[in-house]
Every structure is written in structure tokens, then in C-alpha cells.
Amino acid sequence: MTAAAHGSPTADLLAAFAADLPPDRVLTDPAVMASYAHDEAEWAEHGAPAVVVRPQSTAEVAAVVTACARLGVPVVTRGAGTGLSGGANAVEDCVVLSTERMREIVEINSAERLAVVQPGVVNDELRAAVAEHGLWYPPDPASAPWSTIGGNVATNAGGLCCVKYGVTRDYVLALEVVTASGEVVRVGRRTAKGVAGYDVVGLMVGSEGTLGVVTEVTVRLRPLRTTAPRTVVGFFDTLAAAGDAVSRVTARGLQPAAFELIDRVCLQAVNAWKHAGLPEDAAALLLAQTDLPEPAALAEAEAILEEFDAAGARDAVLSTDPVEAEALFDARRLAYPALEQRGEAMLTEDVCLPRGLLAEMLTRIERIAAEHDVVIATVAHAGDGNLHPLMLTPHGDEAAKARTRAAFDAIIDAALDLGGTVTGEHGVGLLKRDGMRRELGPGVLAMQRAIKAALDPQDILNPGKVLG
Amino acid sequence: MTAAAHGSPTADLLAAFAADLPPDRVLTDPAVMASYAHDEAEWAEHGAPAVVVRPQSTAEVAAVVTACARLGVPVVTRGAGTGLSGGANAVEDCVVLSTERMREIVEINSAERLAVVQPGVVNDELRAAVAEHGLWYPPDPASAPWSTIGGNVATNAGGLCCVKYGVTRDYVLALEVVTASGEVVRVGRRTAKGVAGYDVVGLMVGSEGTLGVVTEVTVRLRPLRTTAPRTVVGFFDTLAAAGDAVSRVTARGLQPAAFELIDRVCLQAVNAWKHAGLPEDAAALLLAQTDLPEPAALAEAEAILEEFDAAGARDAVLSTDPVEAEALFDARRLAYPALEQRGEAMLTEDVCLPRGLLAEMLTRIERIAAEHDVVIATVAHAGDGNLHPLMLTPHGDEAAKARTRAAFDAIIDAALDLGGTVTGEHGVGLLKRDGMRRELGPGVLAMQRAIKAALDPQDILNPGKVLG
């Protein structure tokens, strides 16, 4: 335990927590707290928390927030800390509220096609649990093995299959929320439809812990998909050809359930790590999956293949074997870990463009990489126009770091110039605040600030994030 | 023109409008204005507008709202006036802002699968226009031939196909909005995904003109469906059996693209009007449509038929002929006009229940009808658990009117008792304010009031509606 002078804010906090929470909920060891102080956005600043609390129930969360509201101490809520924008980063002397002990799956209801979970349930755990009931929770961020539903809700997480099935917000029916004053409220509903009052659920989703602390999530589910997907892959010599293929597939009215792109730098990294034998002279690899019932899946896959060929794919094939299909998708899954092998600092972008401008944006990213002398590897949810250019910087090289920062800003400039958004699915956190301000403009920012002030007048919920 | 003393609020308004708007935008004839004073909720009160304005551009809307904000005059925005909750009803001495002249389809973009429209575009006009580009706008309220996209946005309208494809909010990507101070802002985005800031678009959708005046709507589109749907119909002797059939279809993971119920009173009315020969001794008719690609559609239709039979359908058939299928759906479409033939006052309910409680709710409605001696005819979006009990009351019979009002309240009580919502898709307007307050509770109401006060501090946008 760190010493905290009696009467200091920290001492008052600890006294309040001692009264309301079992002792194992409270962490004060600085070394332990350090691991709770930031998410995976290496480039975002963070402070040191005064206390880390790990409540196990809604009542415990309410007690924490009530004490913080009374004492005027900021509350930074975090799930698994897999965020990439600094949204869960501690502010100095805050209380970090970790949902790691709130991992109960409260209900899985086949008749209503919904599940009720505590916020600390891991995405993949929920997916596995509902699959046993013949149900499917679609949102599948790359962090699904580790990230929590609460974190997914906080950032309105996307993933691969949102190109066809939508993002987290599309699956949140109801929330239990502890408000900024410590009150417990339930917003939303258990019914399929409902329009009673303003959409506070939608407002909470994606608000990154700045409007309330989510203590329970009711999610809508779909029937489990039972057919094996068909996969189409195509290597393209130019980014323009790959972009053309994406546009052609969209314009033809095809609806792949995943539609991904990885660029040359990623192909090279996967080869270097796994000796995968991927063609390193290709500009990009496109991967599409269809999950229609057969034989419609075959027809859709063949149509996608036709459009890949028409766009000038060098080598496009349709996989008929699920094992082979999974192997092809491995190039996508392995891209990030392969890049990590380089042992460099990583800064992940998350711009989202109108689909038709995918090739233009990829070309601009190549140019930005060259102009700033920065290695940029790009994976993209191509069907959504959502790009994740990943900038690699040798540790300790300050000049390279400055160039990377400039490239990051240049990518944001380019995305805004092309009518895109600065964040498609990772959230604003700290890294995208400036970009967001430019994207929204003063009128919309004023509305957002008014909403924040209305729901958190003391500004104690994750202060400084999103709106700054 | 009505006389308005110089210096009166109305005179000041007219002077402001004369300066900013062409003269044909402004209506002041009381007889003409009367037709703009209310929507189709016969039972909801309304006042007399001071002025009706029909702006044709965003700039004109901004001029109207700016003048009203300056003079402290309420603005009630209306589309086609097909609402069923009184949400567009005039308050005394307000400005009614009709979007009827804002009917331009600004853009239809196949590459991005979106359309941009002014708010006065009629739902069916948009659907027809995008169909020519191979695209589909799914939300299909029964009012689609007359209701406007702006009105659909204001109420977050549903319809038949939202059981599979979602409601209006799921299709609104971006909005241009005139705020309560008369400022023009653009919220949302043109990209498939985006998480830059709070979801102000979702907040505006369903807010019934109380948070801003929508002047342009960007909607997401889907590829046009090209296969003929297959239709399954089943007559059931008891409401319990019909409810069981709905539960069975859901539990089996089937996903009909429409799944409707009409009750015995509706069957009798359609027979009385059209001599349709429907079995009047059946308690309910269920209609399901599947739109999967063949042969999956046939398999799904057969599975639905199996579940209808397993639930004890008296007479269930699968239609293989599109013309015959449409004829079967006519019983659904004709239910309301058939009931109108009775020439009585109509009060439409809109409760939405957990799907599994459909039969229980239908049984309670029957009981409420008997207890209050009121004729109640029910159609339901069965697959969503969304019921529209329609209460019929002879004009001029005050005792019957009192009984109907009591039955209306009893249905709301029952819906809340069963965990449902007081409005699935029609909106709160005036008729559901009390029910909404009971549904949400004081904590959530306080959040909603805080949001309203943040975005409309003068309370000039459709005051009294939704929150009261």
C-alpha cells in the first residue's frame, strides 16, 4: 500500500471504498497499478491512478462512482485494455475502475434471441456461450479473444463481419448504467423494437466511458450460421486494381460477410515470419467470404471471382475447402503479429473512407509513407472502406518518431480531404481528438459538449477523452 | 390573411418571414391552417397554429427557426401528417413548419449504397427511385405511400420488413439539422462505419422534432431483392396456438422477412367489406414471408409450415405463386381500411412485447376488450412482438369514449406488466407520454430532460411532445 495522508483525496477515497467494498477490490500498489494505467495505444499519454478498483457488482460500481462524485475524483473505466486510441488511459490521480471481475453471463434467451452479460465478459466467451444455444453474437473485433463486451460497447467496436452484419451499436438492446452521480439506471429494452424516448442506449455506445459506467449489457443475437463460408482470394498488381475490385463487388449488389485487404508490406512480413510463400510483388491481397445458403454461396463466390478477374487480378481463386479457406484468411490474421516481430513501436490508424475512394486513399498512404520515410503496413476492412495503416518506428529513434507523428497527421488530413472519418471503429480516446474536432466542426462539437455537460456536469467520467 | 396587430408576436413573425421567405411559403388562412394542425391521432389534443410555413430549402428552414428562436415562438415540424401519436400536432400559436416542399432526391449513389434526400420525400418515392438503381430502402411503414422520410426519421418508423431488416434508425447515416438556435449542422457521415464523437444521428432519429429540424437525410441502402418471396399462411383456433407458432419459428432460427398476425375481428371486417371468405371462427391468421435465395427460401418456408402445423394450425399452406402470395397478404393490408368502413373513431395502440409473450398479451387484450365493452381489432408484427390493437368507438358516444380510453390505459398497463414498451414504432407524441414516463422511470427521464435542455434550452422545438 502506498501511504496516503489522512484527509488527502486518496485517503478519503480509500476510506470510502473500505466502507463499501471488500478489501480485495482495491489496489494501491504502484507497480500493480501501472499495468492498469493505459491501453495498447503506445503513443498516447497517460497519468498515474490514485487507486484501482475492481468492483464485482453494480452496487459496488455505484458505490465507487458515488464516492468519486462526492470527492470530485475522475473515474476512468477500463475493460481488458486492448483499446488503440488511449480511451482507457488513466488521468493523474484518478480512480481506474476495472470491470475484470464483472464476468457473469446473466442470461442467454433463445426465445427472445438476446443475452444479458456483465461488462467484463470477453467477446469470445460470449460468442462461445451463445453458440451452444444455436445463437450468434456477430461483432468480431480482432481483439475478440481478449477484449470485453463493456470495452466493445464503449468504443462501438466493429470487426470483420460488420461489413454485412453491423457493428456493436446494432446489437445493444439495453444497458444498465451508473450515471455520473452514482445512480443506477436501465436504458433501452428487451423488445425487438421500441421508440419510447430518446435513444440513450445509442448515445452510451461509443461514448468511451464519458457519459456513464456500463454495468450490464443486453445484446441482440442472430441465429448461428451453420454453413461453411466460401472464400475468394485475389492478388492484385496495383492498389487501383484492388480498389476497382471492391467497387465492382459492391456495385454488383454482392454482400460478402467479410471483405479484407492486406498490402504488400504485410505480405512481406507474413512471409518473413512464417515463410508463407505469398507473392511479395503483389500490391495487395483481397479476401472475401460469403455465407449465403448453398448454392447461393457458390454463385456469390463465383460472381466475386468474376469481378476480381474483371478488375485485373493476377491470381484469383475460389476455395471450396473450409480448411483451405481458413488458411487463406491466416495471411490476414497473421499480419499484425508478423509485424510485431520487427520489435518496433506501432501506431495504428483507423480512418474510414467512402468505399469508392479506397484505392485513392491507399495510394495516398503509399505516398505519405514515402514522403515521411516511414514504414506503413495497411490492413483494411475493404468492404467498409475502413483502413488500418500501421506505422512502424524503431524504438528510441526520436527523429523517426517525429516523422511517424507527421505521417499519422497526414493520413488524417487525407481521410478528411476525401470525405472520410478519422475513426471507423477504434474510438477517439486521446489520439483522435484533434482529428475529430476538425471532422465535426464547431457546431456539432458544441452539441456534443452540451450533451456531455448535461449527463456529467462535474466532468468526472473519463475526463479529457473524446471531447478533450 | 388573418389580421395580426402590428407588434404582436404573429405580426413580428410575419415580418420576419416576409423578409426571408418568398410569400408563397407562408400560410395564414385559418381554414387552410386547420389542415396542418394535427396528425392522424384522432384522440390527441391540438392547438391552432399562428402561422404555417412551407420552406423549400435548408436556408429557409434556418431562417424560420432563427426567427422563432428570437421571438420565443414554438416550432412544430410536420411531414405528411400520417403520425398516430399526435407528435406533429400544433401547440397554440406555434409556427407549423411543413416539409412538403422539400421533396428533392439529391443523390442516389450505387457505389456507396446511399441516397441523400430532403425530408419531404415520400417513403415510396424514395423506394421507387432507388429501385431503378438496383437498390433498396427497407423501412416500410404501412404509411409508406404517403409518409415522408423526415417523418419516418422523426418517429424511427418501422414496418413489415423490420423483423429481418431493422428500423429507420438502422438506415440513417447522416443528417443535416437546423438546431434550436437556427444554426445548420451536419451530423453523421457518408462512410459505412464511424465512431467520431457521440451518436447525435441516433439521438435525432425518433426525437419527433424536439431536438432539431431535419433538413436533409442520408440513408444507407441495400441491394434490391430480386427473388420472389415465398409466403406461408396459417389459421389458428386459439391465440395461444398462434403465439406458440411464432415462438417455434423464432426458436428454430428461422428469419422471415415479414411475419404478421391479424385477429378474428380483422378477419370479420375484411370479409364484411370484401367478401374474402376468410374463416371467421379462426382466432388469428399468421402470415410469414421468406426472401432467401432459392432453394433456401423453399426450405425456410417448409420449416415455417412445419412449425405452424406443430403449433396446431388448422389450415396452413405454402404459396408457391407470387400472385397468390400477394392475395394472401391482402388480408393484412385490407384490415385497416376494412375497419374504417365501420365509420367509427379509431385509436391505435402500438405496444411491443418480448416475442414469447405475444399470446399472453393477445389474451389480455381480448380480456380488456370484454371488460371494457370495447371493440378491439388487432394486427401485429408478430415476429417483433409489436401489436397494434385498434379500438373502435362510435362517434359522439361519450360513454363509449371513456371506456375506450380506459381500455387504452389497460393495454399500456398490461404491456408494461409483461416487460414491454408502450410504443414500438409510432412514437410517443402526446398519446404515450404518460405511459413512457411509467416505462422509463425517474432516473432515465431526468437524463432525457437533461439532453432536451442541452440541445433546446428555450424549449421551442415541438414543446410538450415526448417528454411533456
- Write down the pLDDT at residue A7: 67
pLDDT at position A151 over 50: yes
pLDDT at position A6 over 60: no
Q: Residue A64 falls within a domain, yes or no? A: yes
Q: One-letter amino acid identity for B98?
A: S
Question: Is the separation of the CB atoms in A142 and A109 below 8 Å?
Answer: no
Band of the pLDDT at B322, cuts 50, 70, 90? confident
- Write down the pLDDT at residue A15: 96
Handedness of CA A302, A308, A312, A317 (dihedral sign): negative
CATH assignment of the domain containing B184: 3.30.465.10
From B243's Cα to the closest Cα of chain A, the distance in A is 12
The full 3-state SS of A120-147, as one line of letters, equals: CCEHHHHHHHHHCCCEECCCCCCCCCCC
Q: State the helix-helix crossing angle for A358-372 and A239-251, rounded to 10 degrees.
A: 160
Q: Residue A442 falls within a domain, yes or no? A: no
Q: Which three cell numbers stand for residue A249?
A: 463487388
**Are A92 and A156 in a shared domain?**
no
Q: Residue B298 falls within a domain, yes or no? A: yes
Give me the residue label for grid cell 443528417: B175
CA–CA separation, B195 and A151 (whole Å): 14
Band of the pLDDT at B4, cuts 50, 70, 90? very low
Band of the pLDDT at A4, cuts 50, 70, 90? very low
Rounded to two decimals, the ipTM of the complex is: 0.96
Q: Residue A449 falls within a domain, yes or no? A: no
Q: B60-110, pLDDT tens digit by residue?
A: 999 999 999 999 999 999 999 999 999 999 999 999 999 999 999 999 999
**Are B215 and B237 in a shared domain?**
no
For residue A365, the SS3 value is helix
Q: B117-154, pLDDT tens digit by residue?
A: 999 999 999 999 999 999 999 999 999 999 999 999 99
- Write down the pLDDT at residue A449: 98
- Write down the pLDDT at residue B209: 98
**How much is the mean pLDDT over chain B?**
95
Neighbours of A35 (CB within 10 A): 10
Question: Is the separation of the CB atoms in A236 and A283 below 8 Å?
Answer: yes
Looking at residues B40-50, what average pLDDT do you find? 95
Q: A107-133, pLDDT tens digit by residue?
A: 999 999 999 999 999 999 999 999 999
Q: One-letter amino acid identity for B66?
A: T
Question: Is the separation of the CB atoms in B236 and B359 below 8 Å?
Answer: no
- Write down the pLDDT at residue B1: 40
| Of the partner residues A112, A195, A223, the one whose CB lies closest to the CB of residue B427 | A195
CATH assignment of the domain containing A15: 3.30.43.10
pLDDT at position A25 over 50: yes
CA–CA separation, B375 and A6 (whole Å): 71
**Are A73 and A167 in a shared domain?**
no
Band of the pLDDT at B7, cuts 50, 70, 90? low
Inter-CA distances, A7 with A74, A203, A336, A396, B166, Å: 18, 37, 48, 41, 54
Question: Would the CB atoms of B421 and A156 count as touching at under 8 Å?
Answer: no
Question: Would the CB atoms of B384 and A292 count as touching at under 8 Å?
Answer: no
**Are A218 and A245 in a shared domain?**
no
Q: A152-189, pLDDT tens digit by residue?
A: 999 999 999 999 999 999 999 999 999 999 999 999 99
- Write down the pLDDT at residue A322: 76
pLDDT at position A455 over 90: yes
Band of the pLDDT at A261, cuts 50, 70, 90? very high
pLDDT at position B366 over 80: yes
Among B192, B223, B254, residue at a domain's last position: B223
CATH assignment of the domain containing B240: 3.40.462.10
Q: One-letter amino acid identity for B65?
A: V
**Are A26 and A74 in a shared domain?**
yes
Q: Residue B111 falls within a domain, yes or no? A: yes
Neighbours of B57 (CB within 10 A): 15
CA–CA separation, A173 and A184 (whole Å): 17
Question: Is the separation of the CB atoms in A163 and A254 below 8 Å?
Answer: no
Question: Is the separation of the CB atoms in B430 and B465 below 8 Å?
Answer: yes
| Nearest chain B residue to A421, by CA | B194
Q: Is B179 on the interface with A (CB under 8 A)?
A: yes
- Write down the pLDDT at residue A1: 40
pLDDT at position B56 over 70: yes
**Are A370 and A277 in a shared domain?**
yes
Q: Which three cell numbers stand for residue B336?
A: 385497416
- Write down the pLDDT at residue B328: 75
Q: Which three cell numbers stand for residue B49?
A: 397554429
Q: Residue B390 falls within a domain, yes or no? A: yes
**Are A238 and A276 in a shared domain?**
yes
Among A402, A417, A432, residue at a domain's last position: A417
To test the contact with chain A by mutation, choose from B116, B191, B418 the residue with the greatest count of A C-beta atoms within 10 A, namely B191
Question: Is the separation of the CB atoms in B416 and B438 below 8 Å?
Answer: yes
Question: Would the CB atoms of B424 and A110 count as touching at under 8 Å?
Answer: no
Band of the pLDDT at B333, cuts 50, 70, 90? confident
Residue A189: name the closest of B353, B251, B431 by CA. Answer: B353
pLDDT at position A2 over 50: no
SS3 content of chain A, % helix, strand, coil (to 5): 40, 20, 40
Q: Which residues have C-beta within 8 Å of that of residue A297, sequence separation ≥ 6?
A: A227, A229, A230, A290, A291
Q: Which three cell numbers stand for residue A341?
A: 516481430
Q: CA B197: distance to chain centroid?
A: 28
Looking at residues A297-321, what average pLDDT do you find? 93
For residues A275 and B222, the model is more confident at B222
**Side by side, which strands form the sheet with A258-263?**
A315-319, A230-236, A284-290, A258-263, A375-381, A386-393, A345-348
CA–CA separation, A357 and A419 (whole Å): 9
Backbone phi, psi, residue B421, to 5°: -115, 155
From B445's Cα to the closest Cα of chain A, the distance in A is 8
- Write down the pLDDT at residue A227: 84
Which B positions 400-439 lie with beta carbon below 8 A of chain A?
A: 419-428, 432, 435-436, 439
pLDDT at position A237 over 70: yes
**Are B129 and B171 in a shared domain?**
yes
**Are A408 and A265 in a shared domain?**
yes
Q: Which three cell numbers stand for residue B293?
A: 435465395
Q: Is A455 on the interface with B (CB under 8 A)?
A: yes
Band of the pLDDT at A327, cuts 50, 70, 90? confident
Beta bridge partners of A27: A52
Inter-CA distances, A349 with A157, A210, A386, A405, B392, Å: 15, 22, 10, 11, 59
Q: Residue A369 falls within a domain, yes or no? A: yes
Among B199, B223, B247, residue at a domain's last position: B223
Q: Residue A456 falls within a domain, yes or no? A: no
| Nearest chain A residue to B207, by CA | A198
Looking at residues A201-211, what average pLDDT do you find? 98
User: DSSP labels for B99-117?
Assistant: -TT---EEEEETTTTEEEE
Structural domain total, chain B: 2
pLDDT at position B432 over 60: yes
Looking at residues A208-230, what average pLDDT do you find? 95
Q: Which residues have C-beta within 8 Å of that of residue A413, sequence separation ≥ 6?
A: none
Q: Could you tell me the residue range of the domain that residue B134 belongs to? A: 105-223
Q: B274-319, pLDDT tens digit by residue?
A: 998 889 999 999 999 999 999 999 999 999 999 999 999 998 999 8
Neighbours of A401 (CB within 10 A): 18
pLDDT at position B449 over 60: yes
pLDDT at position A69 over 60: yes
**Are A315 and A358 in a shared domain?**
yes
The CA radius of gyration of chain B, in Å to the nearest whole number, is: 23
**How much is the mean pLDDT over chain A?**
95
**Are A249 and A388 in a shared domain?**
yes
**Are B142 and B260 in a shared domain?**
no
